[in-house]
Amino acid sequence: MQHSRRNFMRNTSLLLMGTGASFAFPTELLASMRKQVGPNDRINVGLIGCRGMGFSDLLSMLKISEISVIALCDIDQNVLAERTADLEKAGIKKPKWYGDYRELLANKDIDVVIVGTPDHWHCLQLCDALQAGKDVYCEKPIANSIEECQLMLHQVGAAGRIVQIGQWQRSQPHFVDAINFVHSGQLGEIRLAKAWAYQGWMKPVSPEPDGTAPEGVDYGMWLGPAPNRPFNPNRFHFNFRWFWDYAGGLMTDWGVHLIDYALYGMKAATPRSVMALGGKFAYPGDASETPDTLQTVYEYEGFSILWEHATGIDGGNYGRNHGIAFIGNNGTLVLDRGGWEVIPENDFQGWGKEGVPRMEAVPLQRNQGSGLDLHTANFIEAVKNRDAGNLNAPIQVGFDAALVSHMGNVAFKTGNRLYWDTAKSAFTDPAANSLLRASYHNGWKLPGYR
* Concatenated DSSP letters of 24-88: ---GGGHHHH-----GGG-EEEEEE--SSHHHHHHHHHHTSTTEEEEEEE-SBHHHHHHHHHHHH
Q: Which pLDDT score is estimated for 16?
A: 36
Q: Check whether the bond before 284 is cis (ω within 30° of 0).
A: no
How many Å apart are CA 382 and CA 385, to the nearest integer? 5
pTM: 0.93
Bridging pattern class, strands 356-357 and 426-427 = unpaired
Count CB neighbours of 448 within 10 A. Answer: 9
Give the domains, in start order, of the chain with CATH numbers: 18-170+374-394 (3.40.50.720), 173-212+235-369+399-429 (3.30.360.10)
Q: Which pLDDT score is estimated for 23?
A: 65
Q: Which pLDDT score is estimated for 220?
A: 98
Q: Which pLDDT score is estimated for 4?
A: 39
Q: Which pLDDT score is estimated for 449?
A: 55
Q: Which residues of the chain have pLDDT under 50?
A: 1-21, 450
- DSSP string for residues in 285-316: TSS--S-SEEEEEEEETTEEEEEEEEES----
Backbone φ and ψ of 435, nearest 5° = -90, -5
pLDDT digits (tens, 9 = 90+) for 51-102: 999 999 999 999 999 999 999 999 999 999 999 999 999 999 999 999 999 9
